């Protein structure tokens, strides 16, 4: 009997198919004979303590102009599918957290959730790096603006960011003489009510912000260096960075070996590490990308490796 996979994602009609890692996963699953089902946040529910979803049969195509077809959706228990790909983009807001609670019920009933809902809920992609502080450049997370200013004065050049952003949004490069520093800190901390992260500026960003993909704790052997363009210091592809594939360095492999076992233990099957120079900056667990770019540059099938792993967990 064919296995069934459900995907929870942002609206599939809005994706950029040639770059979308979720689509690459779905194409691979379909190639292997999986039946696909599709839902968005509004399609989740709990009935009498059981996770349900309004699931639409889905067919996908690796076609930049015509990449999906949907049939009529029907409500059914999530325990009726073998795997759920949880691929909703940040922000990890209260509604996202509630989604993880629904998915956790499905996981408790025997459905494999990729990634584990507890990790999606607990592992803030910027804050969780501090569980591996030996891998990170000097970092301060605080609401107190005076403490943040002291950190900036200590380190000179810094990067300041919110804890809930993605794609380079809300990230500032600043320094201790920056006349805009107070305004930046007021904005990021919402006048002292929200955490902001300050990190010593790593000049190696000019050579790229490397995305290292881990599958069940093991790294793909190539990273995608996202290289800033023009006057923008951010390397994020969504912010205009250029992607260039590179073999992992010895330091990259050390960071992956340091972080990977704990991610595997906690059921985080597909994760993206961001590394600038020698330093870990983010651990992306919600909807990491860069499958397409690395596949194209190195003739890989990263989604194939991922589904080898998923299917081994169902055997």
Q: List residues with catalytic annotation.
A: 126, 161, 211, 226, 234, 274, 282, 284
Report yes or no: 293 and 224 within 8 Å, Cβ to Cβ.
yes
Query: What CA–CA distance (Å, rounded) separates 100 from 308?
Result: 24
Tally the C-alpha atoms within 13 A of residue 1's C-alpha that lie toward its C-beta: 6
Query: In angstroms, rounded to a whole number, what is the distance separating the alpha carbons of residues 195 and 119?
Result: 20
Rounded to whole angstroms, the Cα distance separating 87 from 222 reads 22
β-pair partners for 190? none
Question: Distances in Å between the alpha carbon of 129 and those of 5, 135, 141, 231, 280?
Answer: 30, 8, 11, 27, 7
C-alpha–C-alpha distance, residues 100 and 286, integer Å: 11
| DSSP bridge partners of 46 | 51
Return all residues near 240 (Cβ < 8 A) that are at least 6 apart: 228, 229, 230, 232, 234
Cα dist from 75 to 43, 228, 285, whole Å:
8, 45, 28
Long-range contacts of 182-187 (CB under 8 A, 24+ apart): 182/145, 182/149, 184/160, 185/145, 185/148, 185/149, 185/160, 186/145
Tokens of 201: 């500026």
């Amino acid at each position: 009997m064919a296995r069934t996979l459900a995907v929870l994602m942002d609206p599939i009609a809005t994706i950029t198919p040639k770059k979308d890692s979720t689509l690459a996963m779905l194409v691979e699953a379909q190639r292997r004979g999986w039946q696909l089902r599709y839902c968005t946040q509004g399609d989740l529910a709990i009935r009498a303590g059981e996770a349900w979803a309004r699931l639409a049969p889905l067919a996908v195509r690796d076609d930049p102009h015509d990449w999906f077809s949907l049939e009529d959706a029907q409500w059914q228990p999530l325990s009726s599918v073998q795997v759920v790909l949880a691929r909703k983009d940040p922000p990890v807001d209260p509604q996202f957290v509630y989604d993880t609670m629904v998915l956790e019920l499905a996981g408790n009933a025997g459905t494999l959730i990729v990634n584990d809902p507890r990790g999606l809920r607990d592992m803030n992609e910027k804050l969780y790096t501090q569980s591996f502080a030996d891998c990170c450049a000097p970092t301060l997370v605080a609401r107190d603006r005076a403490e943040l200013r002291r950190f900036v004065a200590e380190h000179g050049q810094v990067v300041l960011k919110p804890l809930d952003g993605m794609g380079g949004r809300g990230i500032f490069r600043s320094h201790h003489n920056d006349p805009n520093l107070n305004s930046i800190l007021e904005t990021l901390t919402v006048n002292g009510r929200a955490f902001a992260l300050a990190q010593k500026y790593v000049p190696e960003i000019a050579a790229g912000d490397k995305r290292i993909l881990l599958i069940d704790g093991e790294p793909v052997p190539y990273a995608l260096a996202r290289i800033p363009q023009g006057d923008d210091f951010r390397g994020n592809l969504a912010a205009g960075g250029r992607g260039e594939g590179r073999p992992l360095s010895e330091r990259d492999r050390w960071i992956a070996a340091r972080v990977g076992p704990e991610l595997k233990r906690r059921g985080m099957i597909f994760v993206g590490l961001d590394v600038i120079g020698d330093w870990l900056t983010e651990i992306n667990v919600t909807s990491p990308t860069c499958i397409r770019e690395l596949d194209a540059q190195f003739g890989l099938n990263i989604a194939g490796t991922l589904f080898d792993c998923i299917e081994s967990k169902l055997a």
